[in-house]
Amino acid sequence: MAADYGHEGQEQSFVSRHVGAALSQKKTLSELGLTARGGREAVVTGLVVDSREVTEGVLFAALPGTNVHGARFIPNALAAGANVILTDSEGAEAAAEAIAEYDPAMVVVSDPRQTLAFTAALWFGAQPANMIAVTGTNGKTSVASFARRIWQELGLQAINLGTTGVEGDWHAPLHHTTPEPITLHRALASAAQAGITHAAMEASSHGLEQRRLDGVTLKAAGFTNFTQDHLDYHATFEDYFAAKAGLFARVLPEDAAAVINIDDPRGVDMAAIAQARGQALYTVGRAEGADICLMGQRFNSTGQDIRVRMDGTVRQMHLNLIGGFQGENVLLAAGLVIACGADADEVFNVLPRLETVRGRMQLAATRDNGASVFVDYAHTPDAVETAITALRPHVMGRLVAIIGAGGDRDPGKRPLMGAAAAEHADLVIVTDDNPRSEDPATIRAAVMEGAPDALEIGDRAEAILRGIDALEAGDVLLICGKGHETGQTIGDTVYPFDDAEQASVAVAALDGKLA
């Protein structure tokens, strides 16, 4: 069983099989920057957070978890051959009996998660030379993907890591937006060995709180926005912000660059943190004084024209992207690439070549009457509002929105999501998202507290079919919530389900194109 929660260990095992096993090597504790109790030296043959993955001579990291401390699995790890235990004082005390029996080298620190991150960086020893990270409630995947694509258009070998796995000039699956350090650094080292020189990664609040990025050497970091989410994990809104602020206050080096969206009210706070640490600051936004200023946007059915000023030069270009916020995301990505040393003229010249990120305001299907269906990952109140209002300028007719909320996650946002959709869409359909262990009807009822006039259709495939059937010429359907996901979690089972695929099938059926 995993030392923290199951996915960490499962992910490490999966990546080690499919990304490429760690280099066959041995290192001493001192080479890994570690000091054991009593100054004891030991040779380490590998790093493990899952006791089921332990082999002879490895270092087992027994980490404090949300529900259980990894020390619970120290006896199993020692019995399987671990010769070094990394944990905190609580973990050492909890496993004192097994430790006394096997007498491993004990590395006991106040923050074993952070120590593991730095240790993993030293163990794998390589990462792409140009690393950036982006945090914020919404937009992380789009910004990281756009940055990677800009680099590729400039002729550089690049990847992005996050919600959609590892994409670009080298590929690998991931189970977390920000993977645990062993998985992360194994992937980064493998990418570097494959010739990847540039990488953009998403920095989730969970990953930052749990110190997963602390061993990554960043040249720049970006901030998109800050709205309600993940209050099932973070005790308060301020705790949630503090976790994200850790990217600039702790992880990003003082000689690196911070690229901040100052249109967001908390962007000013992030900028102050960056300035206090001496980081080079690039501001992005509509504000007159922004370093990269979005001066104007004009929308049509295929995308948008944007007018931008940077360093006194005004540029205008067409983006094949739907939604005003995508223009903002593109400029944040451009700022990150420029902050890493790219020429501004070259960066802006390639922006018209960018394409929609899968599951982010993605055109999924078009009816014979011209009505369009879009899929977006919007799963917070602000994201739902932003997605609908950003799509509105592209729509001549009605805007229909399908929304739902995930189970076992921040229940307080459910009625707020309903209210956001009800205020800005012409027709709202409330359906199931990923109910997980909760009663789907209870979740839908909470969403409908904010959207009492919405249609309630529990079956997501039926909701999509009926939403598309309601579309007339000039109308648009926006399917919110799951974006790029290819499964729907009901109970403990993940059933195959892809919003874009369902939309395509529904359009084909309604327009008589199914064979």
**Structure confidence by residue, pLDDT tens digits, 259-292:** 999 999 899 999 999 999 999 999 999 999 999 9
Alpha-carbon distances, residue 174 vs 117, 140, 167, 408, 415 (angstroms): 17, 16, 10, 21, 31
Average pLDDT over residues 380-398: 92
> Would the pLDDT of 120 be above 50?
yes
Beta strand residue intervals within 320-419, DSSP E? 362-366, 372-376, 399-403
For β-strands 399-403 and 476-480, DSSP reports them as parallel
Residue 435 assigned ligand-binding role: yes
Residue 64 assigned ligand-binding role: no
Give me the chain's average pLDDT, please.
91
Q: Measured between alpha carbons, how far is 322 from 477 in angstroms, rounded to an integer?
A: 13
SS3 content of the chain, % helix, strand, coil (to 5): 40, 20, 40
Residue 493 assigned ligand-binding role: no
Q: Measured between alpha carbons, how far is 127 from 157 in angstroms, rounded to an integer?
A: 13
Span of 18-22, 110-114, 327-331, 460-464 with lowest mean pLDDT: 18-22
Query: In the prediction, which pLDDT does 241 show?
Result: 87
Residue 502 assigned ligand-binding role: no
- Whether 173 and 18 have beta carbons less than 8 Å apart is answered as yes
> Would the pLDDT of 10 be above 90?
no
For the domain spanning 6-120, the CATH number is 3.40.1390.10
> Would the pLDDT of 63 be above 50?
yes
Alpha-carbon distances, residue 5 vs 28, 38, 79, 342, 374 (angstroms): 28, 31, 21, 40, 34
Q: Residue 301: which pLDDT band, with cuts at 50, 70 and 90?
A: confident
Q: Residue 302: which pLDDT band, with cuts at 50, 70 and 90?
A: confident
> Would the pLDDT of 201 be above 80?
yes
Share of the chain above pLDDT 70, in %: 94
Span of 8-22, 62-76, 104-118 with lowest mean pLDDT: 8-22
* Residues in Cβ contact with 43 at an 8 Å cutoff, skipping those fewer than 6 apart: 26, 27, 28, 57, 83
Share of the chain above pLDDT 90, in %: 83
Span of 44-53, 97-106, 125-134, 378-387 with lowest mean pLDDT: 378-387
Query: In the prediction, which pLDDT does 227 show?
Result: 77
Residue 225 assigned ligand-binding role: no
Query: In the prediction, which pLDDT does 508 show?
Result: 96
Residue 372 assigned ligand-binding role: no
Residue 389 assigned ligand-binding role: no
**Residue 74 CB neighbour total at 10 angstroms:** 27
Residue 466 assigned ligand-binding role: no
- List alpha helices for 229-354, DSSP H: 237-246, 267-276, 324-339, 344-350
- Whether 73 and 62 have beta carbons less than 8 Å apart is answered as yes
Q: Measured between alpha carbons, how far is 137 from 274 in angstroms, rounded to an integer?
A: 19
> Would the pLDDT of 49 be above 60?
yes
Residue 177 assigned ligand-binding role: yes
Average pLDDT over residues 300-312: 93
Span of 14-18, 148-152, 182-186, 424-428 with lowest mean pLDDT: 14-18
> Would the pLDDT of 229 be above 90?
no
> Would the pLDDT of 315 be above 80?
yes
Query: In the prediction, which pLDDT does 12 show?
Result: 42
> Would the pLDDT of 383 be above 90?
no
Alpha-carbon distances, residue 432 vs 165, 293, 414 (angstroms): 24, 39, 12
Q: Residue 515: which pLDDT band, with cuts at 50, 70 and 90?
A: low
**Residue 159 CB neighbour total at 10 angstroms:** 27
Q: Measured between alpha carbons, how far is 515 from 497 in angstroms, rounded to an integer?
A: 21
Residue 160 assigned ligand-binding role: no
Could you say which DSSP state residue 251 is in? I
Burial of 396 (0-12, 13-18, 19+ CB in 10 A): exposed
Query: In the prediction, which pLDDT does 509 show?
Result: 96
Q: Residue 113: which pLDDT band, with cuts at 50, 70 and 90?
A: very high
- pTM given for the model: 0.84
Q: Residue 235: which pLDDT band, with cuts at 50, 70 and 90?
A: low
Query: In the prediction, which pLDDT does 464 show?
Result: 98
Closest C-alpha among 422, 428, 413 to residue 382: 413
Residue 392 assigned ligand-binding role: no
Average pLDDT over residues 491-513: 95
Query: In the prediction, which pLDDT does 410 show?
Result: 85
> Would the pLDDT of 37 be above 70?
yes
Common-topology check for domains 6-120 and 362-510: no
Q: What is the pLDDT of residues 437-454, one digit of tens each?
A: 999 999 999 999 999 999
* Burial letters 95-117, b for 16+ CB under 10 A, else e: beebbeebebbbbbeeebbbbbb
Q: Residue 157: which pLDDT band, with cuts at 50, 70 and 90?
A: very high
Residue 404 assigned ligand-binding role: no
> Would the pLDDT of 175 be above 80?
no
> Would the pLDDT of 93 be above 80?
yes
Residue 204 assigned ligand-binding role: yes
**Domain 126-353: which topology?**
UDP-N-acetylmuramoyl-L-alanine:D-glutamate ligase (3.40.1190)
> Would the pLDDT of 231 be above 60?
no
Query: In the prediction, which pLDDT does 24 show?
Result: 56
Quick check: helix, strand or coil at residue 61? Answer: strand
Residue 485 assigned ligand-binding role: yes
Q: Measured between alpha carbons, how far is 311 from 347 in angstroms, rounded to an integer?
A: 14
Task: Report the sign of the C-alpha dihedral through residues 224, 226, 227, 228, in that order.
Answer: positive
Residue 138 assigned ligand-binding role: yes
Distance of CA 383 to the CA centre of its chain: 14
Query: In the prediction, which pLDDT does 18 show?
Result: 37
* Angle in degrees, 0-180, between the axes of helices 267-276 and 237-246, rounded to the nearest 10: 40
- Whether 400 and 467 have beta carbons less than 8 Å apart is answered as yes
Domain residue ranges of the chain, discontinuous segments joined by +: 6-120, 126-353, 362-510
Pick the CATH number of 362-510 from 1.10.220.10, 3.90.190.20, 3.30.470.20, 2.40.30.10: 3.90.190.20
**Residue 94 CB neighbour total at 10 angstroms:** 18
Residue 148 assigned ligand-binding role: no
Query: In the prediction, which pLDDT does 514 show?
Result: 78
Closest C-alpha among 465, 417, 468 to residue 445: 417
